A and B are shown apart, each in its own frame.
Chain A
Amino acid sequence: MIHDSILRDRLVTGDKSASDVTRDIARPILNNPTTSWKIGFTMALFFLGVFGVSLLYTLWTGIGVWNINKSVMWGWDITNFVFWVGIGHAGTLISAVLLLFRQKWRMSINRSAEAMTIFAVICAAMFPVFHMGRVWVGYWALPLPNAFGSLWVNFNSPLLWDVFAISTYFSVSLLFWYIGLIPDIATIRDKVKSKLGKKMYGFFSMGWTGSTRTWARYELVSLILAGLSTPLVLSVHTIVSTDFATSLVPGWHTTIFPPYFVAGAIFSGFGMVATLLIVARKVMNYENYITIGHLDAMTRIIMVTGSIVGIAYLTEFFIAWYSGNVYEQYAFANRAFGPYWWAYWSMMSCNLIAPQVFWLKWARTTPWFIFIMSIVVNVGMWFERFVIIVTSLHRDYLPSSWVMYSGSLTEIGLFLGTFGIFFTCFFLFAKFLPVINMSEIKSILRNRE
């Protein structure tokens, strides 16, 4: 006979029964949207509009409406791309890696984290696509037979690796997320009243019955997918980092990038998860599912990855000095003390210094504080990408081509706009799908050893 653990605190508080779980988590789906949801959604839609306008303007006139120039040919666009892709990493990481490590606490956050991943990747994809001078022929980056003789693609190019990495990552994450959703969709299917609802949820639950046989295979599939996603998630940001690492721009051309980018991705990803969940648990009263324990665990990860990133920054400096390469040395000196010093130091303070506060128990367990910190983390990570891209390009080899760069209104509009995309998707998700994985939560109500 199996007993409840008396050693570990419960992962779900409030002594919930399986039916309570269903009721709590399905509530927003079954009931009408709340006013707070409506307000949030409208705001999201507004920013979506901002995105649309900025994008149309760019497409109509040409990317000259951005301020990028002959030396800094990537600016806000690729900064935002890396920023969003980074955020997109926490989801898969939480559900895959933590699943492999049998971290049960992941169960109440992985659903929303995965959703976040998918939406973030959508936002990220906008930039590599629309930063192209001729986006209408962008599909040439795919290995398709074409009208120009058998002219294929360049497998040496990191950008092509990106094409494969991002698309694979997106589709696999989507699959993983959907498979995880099936049992819950089935639950909703059996709860929902409306005819349309029954049809839709029926359609997507694919006749799920919860048969023991299915469950057995289901868990195996999840396990294997997790096993696949883990190297995948690592590879994706590694490849993104090679966009810079394989070039010869001083400040880009460095082998530390892959681990450093991955750490940064986890860092920012968890930052974003924290931001979202702290809001969600308040607004949707999920305190019992997303407990202080969860926040604590996440902040620990934030602190660790933040420190890893910080060490990477310092290592870069050391190597630059140690290499004896004047261009490298200048590039890094210029980052810290050049005209973009403000970007560099805000990056340092947000990513390396600020997270150290999480050594304090209070900091790790105070939601409002964590919320603020999570924002700080993401600001810092945006600056990191800005520093890497812009400060390296604006002063590279030949001083004759040194320039300054600052984003134009359109570029800023596009960036804000992607938040519109992100939150629109997220609000819809919160309305129509269970934000927390019900079936998994039910299985841990007993807090078994």
Chain B
Amino acid sequence: MSNNIKYWKGEDELSKSPSFLAAQRNEFHDDLPLDEVFNEEGVELQANRRDFLKYFGFSVTAVALAACYKTSIRNSIPYLVKPEDVTPGVANYYRSTCGACSTSCGIEVKVREGRPIKVDGSVDSPISQGGTCAVGQASILSLYDNERLANPLANGSEQTDWTALDSEISAKLKSIVTVNGKIALVSGSIHSPSTLKAIEAFKGAYPTTEHISYDAVSYAGILDANAADFGKRALPTYKFDTAKVIVSFGADFLGTWISPVEFSKGYTKNRQPNAEGGMSKHIQFESSLSMTGTNADHRFPMRASQEALYVATLYNYIAMGSGARQIPVPQQGELAGNSIKKTADALFKAKGTALVISGSNNTEIQQIVNGINMLLGSYGTTIDMVNHSNQYQGSDVKTAEVLAGLKSGSISAVIFYGVNPVYNHSKDWSEAIKKAKVSVSFASSKDETASFCQYVCPDNHYLESWNDSEPRKGLYQFTQPTISNVFNTRQAQVTLLTWANANIAMEKDPFASKGIFSQKLQASPFYNFMRNNWAAVLGTDDAFNAVLEKGVSYAGVSEGGVSYAGNVEALASFVSSNSKATGIDMVLYQPVGVRDGAYGNNPWLQEMPDPVSKVCWDNYVALPKSLAMKLDITEGDTVNIKVGDVTYNNVPAMIQPGQANETVALALGYGRTAAGKVGGSIEKGYDTVGVNAFAFANNTGNRSFVAKNVDVTKGDENYKLAQTQTHHSIEGRDIVRESTLGAFKKNAKAGNDKPETHIYTIWEKAEYSKDGAPNHLWAMAIDLNSCTGCGSCVVSCSIENNVPVVGRDEIRLRREMHWIRIDRYYAFESAEGAMTKDDEIAKVDASGNFDHWQNVNVLHQPMMCQHCANAPCETVCPVLATTHSSEGLNQMTYNRCIGTKYCGNNCPYKVRRFNWFRYNDNDHFDFHFNNPLGKMVINPNVTVRTRGVMEKCSFCVQRVQEGKLKAKRDGKSPNEVIVQTACQRACPSNAIVFGDLHNLESEVSKLYKNERGFSVLEELNVQPSVKYMTKIRNNDSI
């Protein structure tokens, strides 16, 4: 039975009071004490369920969004101890010496926060005189080449420990010495006293060592000729600044020959026309159109194989004049249309101020040239044998001997120092090196030669090194490091000294007290070694540092005069044996860009358009029109060339105006097989760039860079060369103005006396540009007489303004990014006079005679943004991305640009460049912008442009700003603001002048008043801020 006893909780339940019953329905009998909790100080909760969901949803979304954003991590490490002389954002400049080639220009290195970012000429150096060549400019990038060896190599494997390597190598060398085995130290031309001393020290330790200098493109011809004629195996110092008549036989002295910067500076000093004339006359005999040839007043085609005859004939004419004995050579009838006779007369008239040079590497020819100069009394005036040049000393014969020695095994050890014979001398070296017991290369990258050597002991880049040099007798220049070693490399001198274990104990570093250099540099043993060498001359630290600061000490010497003992008549047989012209000649020349190929892996040089052909990224066979027609070759075709047993098939062909008939030309310095990703590397799988023309050089005796009896046939492939200019005639347009010296003397406005263009405008002049306005008015003046077209400005600009390298394919698409370009126009001389229009030329061609293609007049016109006052680009930009500054600059605002490209279309000068892609951090453009090391060269003052924006020359606005601020800081007046644009700074011929037009004393305002001044397309009334000086040629009569 069920239990029905009722228990109750309390009285309320029993009495069933309504309050109890109500409360019973609740889960909790009493209310939860929530309110007390939430109504405390500062806590409120009026949120109901919906609000809660809102909050919840919001926070979830917020968190989710926050999670989506990935912040990139950027490390910026401050100086713990700020070096005394390093101020972030302020550049330091150090005087040093360019190590790009053994010409050794004095330079000034711009260093920002410890990284060198720009190399420019040092005004105190007699070699550079403030200018630089393209190679020197670009050489800085090879410091940041991430394909340099990070460590020494032993039998191909990386070593990190130098000491182990040292003991290993020196042991091997010692063992060789003990058995009296020969050691060959093959180096480039070395004129550094300290380095030579180091080598001596090495010889001391290894007495069987022989030191040979080898230059890829050697001047042994001149050296040997001088040895024969003067008993002094040295290059003379050529003084172009004193030469009034210059005759060059195929010597590209403005582009590549010996010391181009020095020569350009001197040469252009005498190219300024004035009422008295005052302009030198330059006559060029050459078979291929060199950059120097493009600047000549008279240029005559010459068959390279006949040079001996040409030179001899010239000698004879002059001998006739001066009553000396002639060379008995069979007269061949008149060469080059009586031009040699005229040349002789011109030279003879200018006796004492005449200069004859030859680019030939043939001793006999150079002896005849010496003879000519002797008759003209050039020695002591235009040629200085006393303060001779040390820049090149290489001996081809000795080099050949080493090769033979290695082959025969008579030389058991070889050390390569700054040379790459496997690439630029002969393939035989590769086998020969293998025969050597010890083979060492100091190459900084695993180049063609190094890859065959057992040991590679990478040398420093010159910007990491201490050194000194004596490019000219009595001229001393210092090299000082501007950055501590990027890789685990060691200066070659130190390596030699270590192996010689010469005493190079640490000494007190005069800079330690000043705390300038890092520990690493203090420890640089070679500094101490060098310091000791100079102790005699520059005893005190201050004396030494003074020179170091100036970078150069020059004391011209007078003693050591030479006497001429040459006998030219004796060369008759040689001349007559070399006067016959048969078959087709091929001239192998150094291009202005990559020169002998040592810098083949430098993208800036590869992309620098050739000054003459405007071709980048390739070498090509330059054909004369006549031959091209014979072989039915047009642009885009290829040729097969065969010399002896060397054959190259399908080499790109180019029809080169000015190329002498029956001669072709091919540039050296290409076809590197172990340069790297830019220059080509078989090992790394990068295509070689062009073909290696060194294979055609004749290595018997002094290397000859002229190949005879060349077999040229049409290739069966097509190849499009990457050219930055494909239309070469000026179409009779009034874009570049020129005249002759004769006309100029009569009328200073000659050639520039076009009727004043009547310009009617409805707009009034802007305030800033009115005379006497309180602001600066920046402008540029370019002297077409000075500009040689060398392209140094192009590279300099690219470095200064972080202009990307875009590569061959993009240039084929006509998308080069250079902010400054050098327009080059051809005009043909013909019976009908100068022909500047394509259809005219075509008409004459149709007659089947192509001789006019040999006689070409060339104009170089640097072209950059003209900063028009009435800029057409500005009005059409929808977003105001390009506007005008109150100082006359046409500004480009990258951040605002949306990339409609209308400005580019509307620019009559076509100087605007568009970022078609992202050029940095992009594997399609694997150049220096694509790796962290390469980026160290980026100029922090200039934005690296992003994809899709327009860019153009800014007149180096960052330098303008810097100059203004500096003047302000120093409390100078606006007229004392000094600004040099990058192109101007680099120019080896002072062709570019930049300045303030409102400063009436400035050079540019003076030039603006010059009668020769004209601006391009002024009839458009865009009012450009760049004026060009009419080109005056001294070619009225020889």
Contact = CB atoms under 8 A, between A and B. Distances in A.
Across the A-B interface, give the 9 residue pairs with the lowest CB-CB distance, nearest first: A133-B899, A133-B948, A64-B916, A400-B823, A401-B910, A73-B901, A134-B948, A69-B814, A159-B878
A81 to B, nearest CB: 12
Contacts of B917: 61-62, 64
Contact of A69 (B813, B906, B948): B813
B901 A396 contact: no
A248 B901 contact: no
B876 A70 contact: no
A340 interface: no
Contacts of B902: 73-74, 157-159, 243, 247
A398 B908 contact: yes
Nearest to A152: B880
Given A73-B914, A131-B901, A400-B727, A141 B733 contact: no
B913 interface: yes
Contacts of B914: 70, 73, 133
Contact of B910 (A159, A247, A398): A398
A150 to B, nearest CB: 11
Contact of A132 (B898, B906, B1022): B898
A148 interface: yes
B726 A402 contact: yes
Given A70-B904, A326-B733, A399-B730, A133 B814 contact: no
A6 interface: no
B814 A70 contact: yes
Given A73-B905, A249-B905, 10 more contacts: A63-B916, A69-B813, A73-B914, A134-B949, A140-B896, A151-B896, A246-B876, A247-B876, A249-B908, A401-B910
Interface of B: 725-733, 735, 810, 813-816, 821, 823-825, 861, 863, 872, 875-880, 895-902, 904-906, 908-910, 912-918, 946-950, 1016-1017, 1020, 1022
A137 B735 contact: no
Contacts of B814: 69-71, 403
Contacts of B908: 248-249, 396-398
Given A397-B909, A399-B727, A157 B815 contact: no
Residue from B733, B824, B1016 with most neighbouring chain A CB atoms (10 Å): B733
B361 to A, nearest CB: 35
A156 interface: yes
A71 B730 CA distance: 17
Contact of A157 (B813, B875, B905, B1020): B875
Contacts of B821: 400
Contact of A133 (B731, B732, B905, B915): B915
Interface string A324-351: 0011001000000000000000000000
Contacts of B906: 247-249
Interface residues of A, number: 51
B394 to A, nearest CB: 39
Interface in A367-419: 393, 395-404
Given A70-B815, A399-B733, A400-B825, A133 B949 contact: yes
Residue from A62, A70, A131, A393 with most neighbouring chain B CB atoms (10 Å): A70
A140 B825 CA distance: 41
Nearest to B838: A399
A67 to B, nearest CB: 6
Contacts of B725: 400-401
A326 to B, nearest CB: 6
A437 B917 CA distance: 49
Given A73-B901, A248-B906, A397-B1017, A157 B878 contact: yes
Contacts of A160: 878
Contact of B947 (A62, A74, A128): A62
A154 B897 contact: no
Interface in A50-72: 61-64, 67-71
A138 B898 contact: yes
Given A63-B916, A134-B898, A137-B898, A396 B878 contact: no
Contacts of A153: 878-880
Contacts of A131: 900-901
Contacts of A152: 880
B878 A163 contact: yes
A141 B879 contact: yes
Contacts of B872: 247-248
Contacts of A157: 875-878, 902
A74 B875 CA distance: 18
Interface in A142-156: 148, 151-154, 156
Given A63-B916, A69-B815, A399-B731, A141 B878 contact: yes
B652 to A, nearest CB: 18
23 contacts: A64-B810, A64-B815, A70-B814, A70-B912, A71-B814, A71-B910, A133-B949, A134-B948, A135-B948, A140-B896, A140-B898, A157-B877, A159-B877, A249-B906, A396-B908, A397-B908, A398-B910, A399-B728, A399-B733, A399-B825, A400-B823, A400-B824, A402-B727
A205 to B, nearest CB: 38
Residue from B821, B898, B918, B949 with most neighbouring chain A CB atoms (10 Å): B898
Interface in A110-148: 128, 131-135, 137-138, 140-141, 148
A168 to B, nearest CB: 16
Contacts of A330: 731
Residue from A64, A74, A404 with most neighbouring chain B CB atoms (10 Å): A64
B897 A247 contact: no
Contacts of B876: 156-159, 246-247
B898 to A, nearest CB: 5
Nearest to B818: A70
Contacts of B896: 140, 148, 151
Nearest to A159: B878
Contacts of B825: 399-400
B897 A396 contact: no
B609 to A, nearest CB: 11
Contacts of A399: 727-731, 733, 735, 825
Nearest to B880: A154
Given A249-B905, A398-B863, A401-B910, A154 B877 contact: yes
B906 to A, nearest CB: 5
A325 to B, nearest CB: 9
Interface string A83-109: 000000000000000000000000000
B875 A62 contact: no
A157 B883 CA distance: 12
A346 B816 CA distance: 33
Contacts of B732: 326
A398 B916 contact: no
Nearest to A128: B900
A153 B876 CA distance: 11
B612 to A, nearest CB: 14
Nearest to A402: B727
A138 B900 CA distance: 9
Contacts of B950: 133
Contacts of A140: 879, 896, 898
A404 B878 CA distance: 27
A428 B825 CA distance: 58
Nearest to B950: A133
Nearest to B821: A400
A63 B909 CA distance: 23
A247 B909 contact: no
B879 A154 contact: yes
Interface string A18-38: 000000000000000000000
Nearest to B731: A399
Contacts of B877: 154, 157, 159
A439 B124 CA distance: 92
B726 A403 contact: yes
Contacts of B1022: 248
Contacts of A327: 733
Contacts of B880: 151-154
A165 B833 CA distance: 54
Given A69-B813, A400-B727, A134 B904 contact: no
